[in-house]
Every structure is written in structure tokens, then in C-alpha cells.
Structure 1
Amino acid sequence: MGVADRLEFRLLGPVEVWRGPERLAISSRHQCCVLAALALCPGRTVSVSALVDAVWDEEPPSSARRQVIKLVCRLRGALGDAIATCSSGYALNAEPDQVDAGVFASSLAGARRLSAADPAGAAAAARAALRLWRGPALSGVTPCLAAQARRLEEDRLASLEEAVGWELIAGEHAGLVAELTALVAAHPLRERLVGQLMSALHRSGRTAEALEVYQRTRERLADDLALEPGAELQQLHVAILRNDATLAAPIPLPAPAPLAAARPAAAAVPRQLPGAVSRFTGRADQLKELAGLLDRQDSVAIAAITGTAGVGKTALAVHWSHRIADRFPDGQLYVNLRGFDPSGEPVAPSDAIGSFLGALGVPAERIPAGLADRSALYRSELAGRRMLVVLDNARDAGQVRPLLPGSAECLTVVTSRDRLGGLIAGERAHAVSVDLMTTAEARDLLANRLGPECLAAEPQAVDDLIELSAHLPLGLSIVAAQATLAATLSLTELAGQLREARDRLRAMDIGDACVDLSAVFSWSYRTLSAAAARMFRLLSLHPGPDVSIPAAASLAGTGLDQARPALSELTRAQLLAETGTGRFACHDLLRAYSAQTARQDETEQARHVALHRMLDHYLHTAHAAALLLNPFNDRLSLAAPQPGAVVGELVDGEQARQWFAAERPVFPGVVARAADAGFDLHAWQFACSVADFCIRAGHWTQTVAAQLVATAAAERAGDPDGQARSLRELGRAYVQLGRFPDARSSAVRALEADESLGDPLGQARDHTVLGIVAYLQGDYQEAIESDRIAYELFGAAGHRAGQADALNGIGWMQTKLGRHAEALRYCTKALELQQTAGNMHGEADTWDSLGCIHHHLGEPKIAVACYHAALDLYQKVGVRHPQANTLIRLGDTRQAAGDTHAAHRCWRRALLILDDLHHPDAGTLRARLTEHPPAS
């Protein structure tokens, strides 16, 4: 990117964006808020929830998340690809030197490095950095960013104080009096500025005025805060009263010795880190990320290591701290803040600081009582020291803030189950997320505990144990301990016992509360609000793998507005992970704990009612989505949803497709959960509602499994209509898998049920399936007869789109028999009916048939046009396998016309679809591409 195209983000004043010399228009305050929140941490992900908080200073509206997404889209209109979409939010694709706040921080760091040898040069560099400010930081944005604005303003004032200090060292006191007088008037309680003004006045021969400044400050502190001036200011006052000669001369340059060596020899050097982690494994990415902080320590002094219970946050923090301990010669402080402790009592920040001060050699009588005074003394003790501070198991950002050093020479490492969003936003902590282990990392952990030979002897059992432990380090460690304690038990037998256990968490108990998974998880669970705890319990009823907000709201029966805060709280507590926009999941061991709490704290009736609401959500939403995608699908007679069930508000086919695509992995579990819980009507109705989408999208194996469950459910309920519908969809799925005998058997059974019901529409659909089976088995005449019967039955039912489908089927068989003119007549009539009825699926099928007919009639141009019309419609309705078939036939027509390159392009596009669907025809098509390469 050239200089003229380079984006610059300005936060030190009104929020602005510039592209080279041009200021870009940001049309609203809300857009400025989103932009500022992203620019405060360039290159790092900011969640949608955090952006919502940045935009609304009061209770956000129910549409807040959607509005934020729209605001980001509008910003992209101005910024292009500068905003990236991440798994849990958005990130600004910018380097720190593209943000004036980042330039300011790096410039100040450079000035500090220069200060020992050249204080005048350091002051000049600091003054240049301060000229980046154009007014109050983040001007014009919401009060929700006020904390960040205050932090930036504090950085500005602290940097100004440093610049003034270096100028005083360089002997420039006379020129500073006027500026310092104005600064003290604006900030009368900043004792460092007061002291600098007193020094400048005294050195300029204005000692009486210096003493007056002290007296005014002392009176102001006493009146406003009932406090005396701090020790440094009092000492300066005494030195001026004594006319100390050292104050009259320019302050000498400090010796070039390192900070640690400059401290008194008696200064305490604490070494409080816990013992090094034995045989630490994995976490290479996180260790690399943490190592990068050392190179940026002048601007990023806090590493926030977050993750769910048992994921190994403390092990990572302690392991890395030992690796870098020699970089901090003034010592290492450590405290377990017990934020998620079985006692339920986190360590008070005041107590933690008291312990740290003692370790730093501060006598007990000098340690103040109040938190503010302790925190101030703690920061003073760390000033000039290069120390590592490890704050383990923090409850939240509020517990951590008083324990943060004030010096960039120190590095703080925080671990927590909380996401510490406030610390990341307000104190610029660098987030390091610790997730479940990869399979390779899990293998390494087990190999370290059990030995590589043990793993090599039973590789499948090792894979099973990793899955049963949910890739959770604590779970893997427990499994390794169980294998060690039960030496006579093979890994295969251990995996079998865990798999068959009704309560896996109890089966993994080794008698130590510190590594009891239920106990460890409970320490997070007990911190939840009542609403979030109930949501956590009820989520165990969802079949997974992930859950949407409407489905979660239906389980809780609370509505969307109440469900969102509960899910957000669970996410902050790391009991859930947001896997995509508005979708949440947890690993299997947390799910098992969730089920345990549901059994303990929810009655059986409450669980049954919650499950009923969830199934109503899926059934009613799926049925509505199916009709939006294809209005000619059969309508089912659904019972009214239970109170509290949320039915998805889908308005068009595109939204329906998006819902189906997002929820499709959940479908098998919903059918199975409904059947297992005795909701047989829900089981077969839901399976039938999603069948058409799944079949057209190529999910045939999943459809077979679901329809087998649905058929059994309908039989248990004594529901012949449900049996017929389920068997018919089962037959359609068998067709796609090439299991033609099974397809015929299912369709015949469906036909028998529909004949007993006297349902002509159902019979027509059954004959259509039988016609397809006959065609695929090469019996074209039987296929024609099945479609003729279907045509008559569709007519009796008044279903014109079905009649058109039957006519198209007859036309297709005619062309297979070489009767192309007859085929053209049938398919032309079918197309007219489809277009009149507005059946896009059927119209696409008929255009494909017409393409094949015109190909055989020797009319390639017309054939190509027909195939393209079919492809356009297939893409609009979102079906994939028919697209592959049409592309293959289009390629055949291109090949016949002599355009082998175009033919291969068509076949390759088809092959991509077939490979993605794992379709058996992919091998045949791949062979064709290999055997008949295009002419050079």
C-alpha cells in the first residue's frame, strides 16, 4: 500500500480516519464508537458484545447485535478490507503505527530509552509525541469508552510529567515555570506536577513562591481529601526549607547502571513462583504469542491467559514464567487469587498487596491499612524494578486492577476463567486464549505420563481416551493417573469402562477434590447468576453440537432478550464458547457436568417441559423454512407451540437456507432426542420437515438415519400418515445412495399406508419415487407407467406442480427410449405448468430435461441455453447434486460440439460438487477427465 493509500486512525482528539491527505467521512457517532473500539487494539479481535458495550452507554436495544453488524458493514464501505471478520467478532487490520495512540506509545518508549544518556533529547522526543494530541482523546464518542479516554488522558499527563522531569534534569527550569503553573492550576492534586513546579521555582530563585505552592497544595489536600501530601512532596518541601544545595543546581544525570543494580543492596528479591511444571507439553502457539510480549514490553505489560476450567491456564503461566524468570532480575511475585475456589472466598486485593509488600521487604508497620494507600505504596516499591508478577486464578478484572504495577519495566501475567474483557479494553492487556488440546498435543501429554511404548501398543484406545477426555488437559491427566493406578487394566478396557459409564465424571473421579472434574467445574458454576446457572443446566437437554440463541431461549422459556445476557455470562465464565455469530457450544465433559446439575437442581417435570419447548422451536421453524424454500412441499398439521418456545422469524428463502445450513448438524440429535423422550410426533414431523433440504443438499446418509428413527416413532405412535411420509423420505434418500432395493421397499410400504388412508397426494408422491427407482434400474417403461399414475393422482389432489413433475418424468423416460420429439412435447407442457405454478425446483428439473432432449435432437445451442437456465435456478434454490448432473450433461454437449476445453471446465465444476458430497459418481467422472484430456 502506497503512502497515499495508507490508512491512519486518530484517537488522540476527535475520532478520525485519514487515507493519505484525505479525511474519510464517518457518518454517525455510533460508527465512530465501533471504529474507536477496534482502533484501540489494532490486529486483535473485539467481540460483538464488546462493540455493543462501546456503542450504548445505557441498556442496549434488543437489536443491538444486528445494528453493530450493520455499522461494521457501513464502515467497510469507507475503509474497504481494513476490518476483518473473526470467529467471535471483528478486528482492525492495522499496525500500531497506523493509530496515533500506538505511535504515541512507541515514541514515549523511545524517549525513555534515551533518557539516561540524553535527557534533553528524551524530552524533545516526548514533546514531539505529545504534539500528536489534538484535544481530549476519543472526543465525541459514547460514555462507554470513557474509561479508555481517561486512560489515554492519564498517559498524556504522565508523559508530560516525564518530559518535564527530563527538562529539569537538563537544567531548563526557568522556561518551565509558566507551563507548570498552568498545569498545576488545572491539576492541583497531581503531586508530581506540584513538586516539579516547586523545583523549577526554587532553582529560578523564587523560593518563597515554591513554598507558597506547597502550602496551597497542603491546604487543598486537607480540605478536599483529609490527606497530607505524600512523602516525596514533603521531603522536597524540607529540602527547599533547608536550601539544600543539590536543589539549586541542575539535577545530575543518573549513572548508566541497570535499574536493578541501582537499588539498595538490601532490597528484597522475591522468588515466589510455584515449582516448575514437570514434563510440560503442547501450547506452542500460546508460548510463541507470549514470547512476543517481551519484545513489546514497553507498550504491553499484561498477559491475560484465559480459558475454561481444567484447560491448563496455570500450567502454561507457571511454565512460561520459569522460562523467562531470568529476564526479571528484581524478582517474581506470585499469588493464587482463588477467584474460583471451593471456599467461595476470593483473595481480597488488599490482602494480596499486603503479602506482596512483605515479600518486597516493606516492614509491617509501614504497610498502610486501606487498599488505595497499599496500592500506591506497592506501585512505588515496583517503580524502577524489573519484576514479573503472576496473578493466578483471578475472579475478574476488578480483583486484578489494584495489583497491576505502574511501571512498564514489569510484566504481569494473569490467569482466569473469566474472559477479562475489562482488563483487555481498559488496561490494554494482551489476551492469550487457551483452548482444548489438539489431538497431537493430547497424545504428547499421554505419552509423557504413560510412555510412548504404552501408546503404540493400543493406538485406537489412545484415540478413544482423548475423545472421552474431550481433549481437556485435566481430563487427560486424570485418565493417565487412572491408567497408572490400575496397572492391570489395558487402555482399551479403561476406554470401554469410561464409554459405558452412566456418569462419566464420577467414573473419572480419583479421590482428590483438587482434580475432581465435578468440583473443578462447580467452582465456576457457583459464581453464576441464577438466570445463567439455570440456562447452563437446561442446555444439557440440547443435543448439540452447538446451540443458537432462539433454541437456548426456548429451553429456558425466557425469550431472546433474557437469553442473550445469560449466554453472554456463560461465555465470560468460559462455560460456553461462542462458535459463530449467535451460536454456542461446550466440550463433552462440561456437557456432562451440565447434565449432572440439571438432574440435581431441575425437576423431571421442568426438564420435560423445557425439552418440549425446544422441540417446538425446531419443528415449527423447520416446517416454516421448508415451505419458504419450496412452497409445494406438503404442509403438516402441527400442534401450537408451547408458551416460551421461540419460533424463528424467517421471511424468505434465503433466510430459510441460512437457517437450514446453520442448524443441519443439529438435526440428527433433535430427532433422536425427541424419540428417546417419547415425543414421537415431533420426531417424525421434524424429520420430514428437514428431509427435502437435506436430500437436495446431499446429506443422504444423515437423512436415512433420521428417517429410520422417524419411521419407528410413527409406528410406536400408531400414526399411519407419519409412517407413510417417513418411509417416502427414506426411499428418496436410499435412491441417492444407490440402494435401489431398499428405496423400492420403502416406497412400496409408504404406498400401502397411503392407500389405506385414501390419500391421493401421498400415493402420487410414492409412485414418483417408484418411477425414479425403475428408471435408475433401467426399466424405463415401468418408470413411465409410475409417472402416468402419479399424474392422475396429482390431478385428483389438485396439485398442478406435481402434475408438471410427473409430465417431466415421462418426457425424460421418452428421451431415454429415443423418442425425442415425444419427450419434447411432454417436457414443454411440463415447463408451462411449472412456470404457471411458480415451482422453481420443478422448473429447473424440466430445463435440464429439455437440455438433454435438444442435445439428442442435434441442437447444441438450444441445449446449452436450457442447461444454463437449469443451473441458474438450481443455484437460486440452493440445491447441489442436481447442479452436478446438469454440469456433466452440459459438458457432454460441449464435447459433442468439439469444445473439449469448455467440456472439461464443466466436468471439473461437477467433480468439485460430487467430491464434496462424497458421491460414488465422483470416481467415474474423475476417470473420464483423466482418460479424455482436452485437445491441446
Structure 2
Amino acid sequence: MSTLVEIDLLGPMRLRAGGRPIEVTTGRLRALLAVLALSAGRTVTIQQLVGALWPDDDLPANPRRSVQTYVTRLRALLGADVIATTITGYVLHADESAVDVLRFERLLERADGSADPLRQRACLAEALELWRGTPFDDVESEWLSDTEAPRLAERYLAAQERRIALDLELGRPADLIPELRELTTAHPLREPPWALLLEAMERSGRRAEALAQYERVRARLVTELGADPGPRLQAVYARLLADPPPTPARTASARPVPRQLPADVPDFVGRADALAHLDHAAATSPVATVSGTAGVGKTTLAVHWAHGVAGRFPDGQLYVNLRGFDPDRPPVDPADAIRGFLDALRVPHELIPAGPDGQAALYRSMLAGRRVLVLLDNARDARQVRPLLPGSADCLTLVTSRDQLLGLSATAGARAVTLDLPPASDARELVTRRIGGDRATAEPDTVDELVALCARLPLALTVAAARVAGQPESLEYLVAQLRAASGGLEAFAADDATIDLRSVFSWSYDGLSAPAARLFRLVGAAPGPDIGTAAATALADQDPDTVRSLLGELTRAHLLTEHVPGRWSAHDLLRAYARELAGPQSGPALGRLLDHYLATALVASRFLRSDRETFEPQPPTTAGPGVAEPIRGADAARTWFAAERRTLLAAVDAATDHGYAVHAWQLAWTHTIDLDWRGRWRDIARVNGSALLAVRALDDTEPEAHLHRLLGRAYGYLDRHDDAGTHLDRALELYGARGDLVGQARTLRSLGVVKERTGRHEESLGHDLATLELFRRIGQPAGLAGALNAVGWAHAQLGRYQRTLEFAGQALSILQGLDDRLAEAATWDTLGFAHHRLGAYDRAVDCFEHALDLLRELGGLYYEVVTLRKLADSHEAAGDHQAAQYARDLAEAALAELGELPVTGPGAPADRPERQRARPASR
């Protein structure tokens, strides 16, 4: 059962666990606790924690380790069950109500969601009472102090102003004047409190004093900011000058209430996160934008949300389709939109000025002091939107566009909501509602395949479901059509251009500059799910600055998404559209891209190879010069391989399919070096299997032998023993024909692994002894040491632990004169295993710690997990349960960083540590 934790951050930090106060004295621990508390119940990634705990110029040598250490210390304070490890980071198990910041924001959301002014005021007052000073006042974190604290302070001021505005409407103007004077003194250049103060004075019968106060405020703003008061203050001033001043009753009766929202979608599905983001955006700014790619459902979301909040805007809702990307008609002129809005507001024609500037001013004046929702749909860009923004802070403008509208964020403080593809569950529900629950239940696999073939794009799903809805036998037929199209768009063709995917995509594509359109075509035709900046540069054959600018243009148009910094992607249907457009020009571009990937992979792999690797592939003569990314050191190499993993797998397939045989096998070989560190045997099998198809066209048995060996080794760890034996026997045959003794020795070692994993330990020992004999003939010290260690391990599987110590000890003597730290780590691991089985647990712990020190230097996370689990067993056997749990926690954290559980064969890892043996990479 979790310990009850309460954390207050709206002022000096206060912490209680189980009802008792706890003092956290260390600065980093306070920052860690604060960041976890802000996301209570949700995962905070290690990268986010690093960014919050340390400035970029003061990072520790190993940030991940440092975070793990601080988490362990925090668990010791709060209880081990309070902070859990997840796949990507950590989560604090605490209820939202136990964190004052989250409670504050939830109360503001309740105020937003209520149509009852009294309920709104109660929520706001309760939220404001939570504040005890400056948020995170005694927490040392640049991210908290520079980003989160100002954000919360702005929300606090806005909430205070809203609460005062409600009190003003509830009829207590004179009582509010002292509080407003205090607020304006504290924030002399903030206009909303001044507007409220003037309104309170006016309603208290102090009109002359309010006019004098306005002049003082205006003079100060001009002096200090060089600007006149904003629209809200000017509207209050205009009302003060009115003769006679309008009464509330007269004003209300004279105001028409437009209701222009389009009909809501009756079967709206999901989008909970996007709706929540819109709630937050509307609460923090008078302008919100929804942007996203074509067909993703921007208008549907905006209209549905607008209907849900219409009650907050009693003075009406205005709507216009700005036709920013219409194929047949030009975008709406802002002046025409304003004239339409003035008509909706029932302004007599004789009172409307002739010029557009005068009409825009009248439009803003008409909305001053009103609470109106303005929905501007399908905007072309920020320039089209700006004239349509009300001047009143009480109004909300919601804009949808395929463009990111960055100009509105910069000049109007717009809060941006980017709409991505819905999750698979929401996409499936959309189809289910359109075709009927009975049909979806009867054919669940077919529906799931339909969702995947439609790339979860709502427009594609809607079109597909509409075709199926009236035809009982058509679901499987449509899916078969989509499957046969291999990701093409033919099945989504329609007479109506508004639902034909090619037409819909073309409206965004046609607005691109010619260089950006070319890059879109090439990127869409490139292999892999995404592409980095350097790879896009090679693909385009242009300078990096130009390519970055073009990528920015494509991102703003939502034809590409920068899903992580420096990496771009598009959903499958957009990629299919790009491939259709690319045509033959994609051939030379693919060659440039493969040159780039291979050149970089060769550089990166050199930092990860061990001394046992003597083979050095020669790049193909067709490879272009100077296309490699700069890789400086093993950490950078691992980072590059991790970022490009899925893309490199696809690149090998593309190289095989298009006749780039040398690129295919060398990319597979280099990528395997990194994949082995991560225990990704399935990926190793896939990439080498694909490359093997390519090299059979070459008149060269050397790469074929290497690929058979790597493929057989991977199948061995996947427990596909027959397949492993077939490939390893073929590799042995090819190496023998070439007289390659090193290749034969490594193949025999892999055969030994296969026999070991099937429990045939005597046969495994036989292969390891044959390996040892070959390396003695070759005279390669690193290979000899690895073979000695393998023989020692084989003896351990047979229960001959003294023999294990003898052979592994010989291996260690050789390795200490070499720089092969992976082999040395594996040997220490073997020695630790033997000592553990002999009951010498302290010596086993020492050996495993030696191995871990080496593995941490190398970044060998997969092997680290293996050794940490054995270390935990030795600590447990020695009676040190706390150290054992700590080792297991570190293993879990390393697994989370790996991203998946490495395949280790049958048997539970914790129960069968011999299955988890860290193997030297024997490529």
C-alpha cells in the first residue's frame, strides 16, 4: 500500500508523508520531488528530469546515473512504493489533490467548466487561497524558476482578475476598489486590473475619479511603454465618456446574440488530450489555434469543443470559413469576413464605415466588454487572421489551419494546439460507430487492419467507413483493396474533392515553394519512418541551411512533423502521396541517402568494435564522398544508432530491393555491432536476413559468410535452433573454403552457444575447445582470451567451477594486457558466477562490480542488465537485501532505457541467471 504523500509548492516547499512532515534539505532532491509532483500519476522521462535538474552547461558526467541515484535517495525518504520506475522514466504515486499546484489548476478548470457565476467564483477563491508566496521559492531549478513559476504566476493573476470581475458583476464594486488599488500598484503596467478598477469606480458613482485615473494610466503607459492603452481600457474610457452612461439593462437589451457555430458532429470520438489542451489554451490566452495535417480533424475538433463551451460566451458565437486552402475559391478577404460579422451583430448598414479600417475598428468596438467566441476556420496564415481578432480580452478567438500560425503566437500570444493522428483505440471507435457495433465485433481483425491501412487519419477512416456502412459484404472487400494498393491512395479516390485524399493533400502541397515541394517528394519516398536533418541534406543534395529552411516550411504546412528535435516524419498516406509525386527522381536520391547512412555507420561502428574485430569493410566505390555525419566518440555513436535504428532497418531493405547489394550488407554488418550491445536479436536477424538476399547477386563469398554467421548467432539467441544450425553450418563451410580461420573460430563459438541453450553442455564445450585450438593456431590474443573464457563458462554449466576459475583466470591475464573491455567484463562475469556457485559471495560481488565498471564505461546496457541481476543474486545470498534490491532497481532502469526486454530464451531471467550470461560480441 502506497504511503500518503502531500506536497505544497505554491510557496516554500512543504512535504508530508503518512501525515508527518519531512524536511528535504538537498537542493537536487527538492527539485526532483517538485518535478515529479507536477506530473503526479504520470511518467516523467529521464530526459525531462535531467533538463529540470541541471543547466545545459553543468550536466554531470552520466546524467542517467545521477537521476537514478537521486531517485533512490528520494525513495529512502518517502518509501520505496511512492516512486515507480516506468519504461521511459519515473512516476510519483500521489493523488492530484495531494499536490497544491495540481489542485490549483484543477480548480481553475472547474471554474472554466461551470456556467454558474457563483460556482465559478467559489472555485477561483478556493484556488487563490492555496497560494502562500512565490511558487518553488526554495527549489533550485532553472526550469522551474524560469518556466513553471512565471506560468503559474500568470495563471494566478488571471484567476484573481476573473474572481474580481465576477464580484463586480455580483454587485460589490465599492468593496473591490482597495483590492484593485493594491493589485494595480503591484502590477502597474498590467491593463486588466486598471480596467476593473475603472469599472468599479464607475459603478460606485465615482465617474470623475475614474476619468482622472484613466488619464494617469494612459500617461504612464505612453511614458514607460511608448504605447496607448489597449482596447479594453479604451472601451471602458469610451463608456465613461458616454452621456448618459448606459445602464446594464439597456446594454443587455440592445445586444443581439449571434449563434453561428456549424452543427456538432453527433458521433464525435476521443480527442480527450486535445480537448484538455484547448481548455488550457482558452484559460490562458484570448487566442487559441488548432493546427495539423490535412484530414486530421481540426474543424471537427474545434466545432465540437466550441459547442461544449458555448455557455461561457453568453454574448454569442461567430463563425467563418476562411477557405485558406480551398482548391476552387480564393481565401476569404478579412474585410469581407468582418462585414459578415457586423451583419451578424445587426449593425445598421448606415452606421458601418465605408473603409476596411473603419469597419475593423467598429467590429472591435462592438465586441468590447462582451464575451463572444469567434471561430475562424481553415485560415491560410496569420496575416489573414490578425484583422479578425477582437480587441476585448473577454472574447476568445479559436483558429484552425494547416499552417502552424507561428505569427499569432509571437504577436497575439496565441496558445497553440497541434492535432496529431488519434490513437488506434479512438480510430477503431470512429469506424465502429460509422459501420455499426455488430459488424465491428464480428470482424475485429479486419477493422484493425482497416485502421492501420488508413494510417489512423480521420478523413481516410470516415471515407472508408462511409463506403462500408451501406454494403454488408464490403468490409473485407475494401480492406483487400487497400491491402492490394500497398499503401497507395487509389482506394481513397472520390468525385467530391473535399474527401478525395489526393485532392485534400494537394491543397497543402500546391502552396509550397518549388524547392520545398521537391524535398517533400524525396523525403516521402525515403525508407524508414522518419529522417534526420543530415540525412535530408544528403537526400536533397543541398546545403544544410537551405534544407533546414525547407524542412521548416514543410513543418509549418503540416506535411512533415518534427516529432523529436531534428527528426521529421509524415503519416503513411502522406508518404504514399509523396511517393506518387516523386517518380523516377527518387532513384538517384536513394543512392545519395544510402551513401550517407553507410558512411556514417562505418564511422560510428569503429567506436563500438572490440579488439577481436579485425575485419574492416571497404565502402562501395559508388559511395559519394564527405556524406558522413560527424561522430565523436562511443556515446555519440550509440546515440546515432539509437536514433536511426528503425530507419537503418528500412534502408537495408531498400538497398536490397533496389540493387545496392554492397550498401545492404555493410549497413547490416555495421548496424549489428550496435544492436548486439542492446540485445536486439530480432532486429539482427531481420537486417542480416534482408542483406543476405542482396549479396547472393555478388561474386563474393566473404560477406555471405559473415551474414550467415551473424544470422545464425541471432537465431541461436532467439531459440530458433534448427535455423541457427543451418546458417552457422553454411558460414563454417564458406569460411573453410576461404581459409578464414578467424571466421571459423567465431562460428564454432556461436555453435557452442546454440548447444548450450539447448542444454547440450558437453557438445557446447567441444565447440568451445575447437574454438580455443583455432585461436591458439592463429595467435590472436583477444580471440584466445575470449575462447578461454568460453571454455570456462562451458565448464561452469557442467558444474566444474574450479575449472571455470582456471580458464577464466587465464583469459583475464591475457586481457589485462589488451584494451578489450567488453571481453574483460564478460570474463569478470564468468568468474563472479563461479565464485557465487562455490559459495564465495563476497568474491562474486567483487567480480560482478568489476564487470559493471567496465560495462558502464562502454555503455553496454544489455550486458549490464545481465550482470546486475547476477550481482543482485550474490548480494541476496550474502544477506545484504538492501544492496540486492538496489541492483535490481538499476537493472530495471537500464531495461527501461533499452526500451524493451531483450530476448533471452526460455525461463524466467531472475530464476535462471545462467541464461542471462553476458556474451562477448563475437562478430
Aligned match of 2:500: 516
CA contact (8 A) 2:161 2:192 kept: no
d(CA) in 2 for partners of 1:883, 1:676: 37
8 Å contact from structure 1 (residues 304, 415) kept in 2: yes
Partner of 1:555: 539
Find the counterpart in structure 2 of residue 343 from structure 1: 328
Residue 37 of structure 1 is matched in structure 2 by none
**What SS class does the counterpart of residue 295 from structure 2 fall into?**
coil
Match of 2:818 in 1: 837
Among 254, 260, 265, the alignment partner of 1:277 is 265
Matched, 1:129 2:183: yes
Distance in 1 between residues matched to 2:408 and 2:292, nearest whole Å = 15
Give the distance between the partners of 1:890 and 1:391, measured in 2 at CA.
62
SS of the aligned residue for 2:265 comes to coil
Q: Which residue of 1 aligns with 2:649?
A: 668
Q: How does 1:278-677 map to 2 (within 5 A)?
A: 278-291=266-279, 296=283, 300-343=285-328, 345-364=330-349, 366-484=351-469, 487=471, 489-502=473-486, 504-599=488-583, 604=584, 606-632=585-611, 633=613, 634-639=615-620, 642-643=623-624, 646-677=627-658
| Structure 2: distance between partners of 1:859 and 1:809 | 21
Which residue number corresponds to residue 677 of structure 2? 696
Change (3 A) 1:381 1:897: closer
The one of 838, 859, 862 equivalent to 1:878 is 859
CA shift, 1:167, in A, is 9.2
Please say if 1:262 is aligned against 2:247: no
SS of the residue 2:318 aligns to: strand
Task: State the 1:644 CA deviation.
Answer: 8.1
Indicate if the aligned counterparts of 1:814 and 1:823 stay in contact, CA closer than 8 A: yes
Aligned AA for 1:314? T
Deviation at 1:499, TM superposition (A): 0.8
Q: Secondary structure of 1:671's partner?
A: helix
Q: 1:321 to 1:796 in 2, by over 3 A?
A: same
Contact 2:524 2:574 in 1 (8 A): no
CA contact (8 A) 2:524 2:570 kept: no
Q: Is the 8 A contact 2:489 2:502 kept in 1?
A: yes
Query: Residues 83-162 of structure 1: matches in 2 within 5 Å?
Result: 83=143, 92-94=147-149, 96-99=151-154, 105-110=158-163, 112-113=165-166, 117=171, 124-133=178-187
| Closer, same or farther: CA 110–834 of 1 in aligned 2, 3 Å | same
Equivalent residue of 2:562, what SS? strand
Give distance in 1, aligned partners of 2:435 and 2:591.
46
Which one-letter code corresponds to 2:499 in the other structure? V
1:145 match: none
- Per-residue deviation, residues 752-782 of structure 1 (Å, max 9, x unmatched): 2223333333233223223333444555565
Deviation of 1:447 (Å): 2.5
Match of 2:209 in 1: 172
| 8 Å Cα contact 1:387-1:411 kept in structure 2 | yes
After superposition, the C-alpha distances for 1:11-39 in whole angstroms (9 at most, x for unaligned) are: xxxxxxxxxxxxx9xxxxxxxxxxxxxxx
For the residues of structure 2 that align with 1:750 and 1:104, how far apart are their CA atoms? 72
**Contact conserved, 2:168 with 2:200, CA < 8 A, in 1?**
no
Q: Post-superposition shift, 1:568?
A: 2.3
Structure 1 residues 593, 72: CA separation in 2 closer, same or farther (over 3 Å shift)? farther
Residue 739 (structure 2) pairs with residue 758 (structure 1): yes
Q: Partners of 1:911 and 1:358 in 2: how far apart? A: 64
Partners of 1:822 and 1:184 lie apart in 2 by: 87
Shift in Å, 1:687 = 0.7
CA contact (8 A) 1:668 1:706 kept: yes
Task: Quickly say closer, same or farther: Cα 1:453–1:714, change in 2 above 3 A.
Answer: same
1:169 Cα deviation from its structure 2 partner: 4.0
1:532–1:566: 8 Å Cα contact kept in structure 2? Answer: yes
Structure 1 stretches of 5 or more lacking a match? 8-23, 25-41, 44-64, 85-89, 138-151, 201-231, 240-245, 930-936
The alpha carbon displacement at 1:918 in A equals: 5.7
- Amino acid corresponding to residue 498 of structure 1 in structure 2: L
Instruction: Kindly state the Cα deviation for residue 724 of structure 1 after the two structures are TM-superposed.
Output: 0.9
Distance of 1:905 and 1:498 partners within structure 2: 51
- Aligned mates of 2:789, 2:910 — CA distance in 1: 29
Give secondary structure in 2 for the equivalent of 1:755: helix
Tell me if structure 2 keeps the 8 A contact 1:123–1:166: no
Q: Is the 8 A contact 2:12 2:137 kept in 1?
A: no
Cα drift, residue 464 of structure 1: 0.8
What is the identity, as a one-letter code, of the residue corresponding to 2:598? Answer: L
Q: Deviations over 1:80-124 (max 9, x none)?
A: 45637xxxxx9933375524xx55545554554555656666565
TM-aligned CA distance change 1:851 to 1:275, over 3 Å: closer
Distance of aligned partners of 1:362 and 1:904 in 2 relative to their CA distance in 1, 3 Å threshold = closer
Compute the displacement of 1:737 (Å): 1.3
Distance 1:914 1:371, change over 3 A: closer
Q: Give, in angstroms, the shift of residue 880 of structure 1.
A: 4.5
Is the 1:614–1:645 contact (alpha carbons within 8 Å) kept by the matching residues of 2?
no
Contact persistence 1:107–1:125 (CA under 8 A): no
The amino acid that maps onto 1:550 is A
Alpha-carbon offset, residue 377 of structure 1: 1.4
1:679 maps to 660
Q: 1:821 to 1:389 in 2, by over 3 A?
A: closer
Deviates more, 1:801-810 or 1:774-783: 774-783
Distance 1:374 1:126, change over 3 A: farther
In the TM superposition, residue 334 of structure 1 has moved relative to its aligned partner by 1.2
Matches of 2:624 and 2:299 in 1, distance apart?
Answer: 45
Superimposed CA distance per residue, residues 268-288 of structure 1 (whole angstroms, 9 cap, x where no aligned partner) = 543332233233232234334
| Post-superposition CA distance 1:476-505 (Å, at most 9, x none) | 1101111135x1533222212111115631
Equivalent residue for 1:204?
none
**Deviation, structure 1 residue 709:** 1.2
Letter in 1 for 2:294: A
Tell me how far 1:309 sits from its aligned partner. Answer: 1.2
Equivalent residue of 1:413, what SS? strand
Report how far residue 335 of structure 1 moved.
0.9
Specify the SS of the correspondent of 1:94.
helix
TM-score (norm 2): 0.76
Which range moves more in the overlay, 742-751 or 319-328?
319-328
User: What is the total number of aligned residue pairs between the two structures?
Assistant: 789
Aligned to 1:575, what secondary structure does the other structure show?
coil
Q: Tell me: CA distance 1:386–1:569, structure 2 relative to 1, closer, same or farther (3 Å).
A: same
Q: Cα deviation per residue 1:698-730 (whole Å; 9 max; x = unaligned)? A: 211221122111112111223211101111111
Alignment gaps of 5+ in structure 2? 1-7, 15-26, 28-38, 41-50, 61-135, 914-923
Three-state SS of the structure 2 residue aligned to 1:650 is: coil
Q: 2:693 aligns with which of 712, 734, 738?
A: 712
For 1:77 and 1:638, locate their aligned partners in 2 and report how far apart those are by CA, in whole Å. Answer: 58
Separation in structure 1 between the aligned mates of residue 788 and residue 594 of structure 2, nearest angstrom: 38
**For 1:304, what is the secondary structure of its paired residue?**
strand
Which structure has more RCO (C-alpha within 8 Å, separation ≥ 6)? 2
**Alpha-carbon separation, structure 2, partners of 1:3 and 1:280:** 38
Task: Report deviation, 1:683.
Answer: 0.8
Name the structure 2 match of 1:748.
729
Tell me, in whole angstroms, the C-alpha distance in 2 between the residues paired with 1:499 and 1:322.
38
Deviations along 1:225-261, whole A, 9 cap, x unmatched?
xxxxxxx79x97xx9xxxxxx6xxxx86x6444xxx6
More deviation, 470-479/805-814:
805-814
Cα 1:545–1:170 shift into 2, 3 Å: same
8 A Cα contact 2:161 2:193, kept in partner: no
Q: AA paired with 1:760? A: L
In the other structure, the counterpart of 1:70 is 56
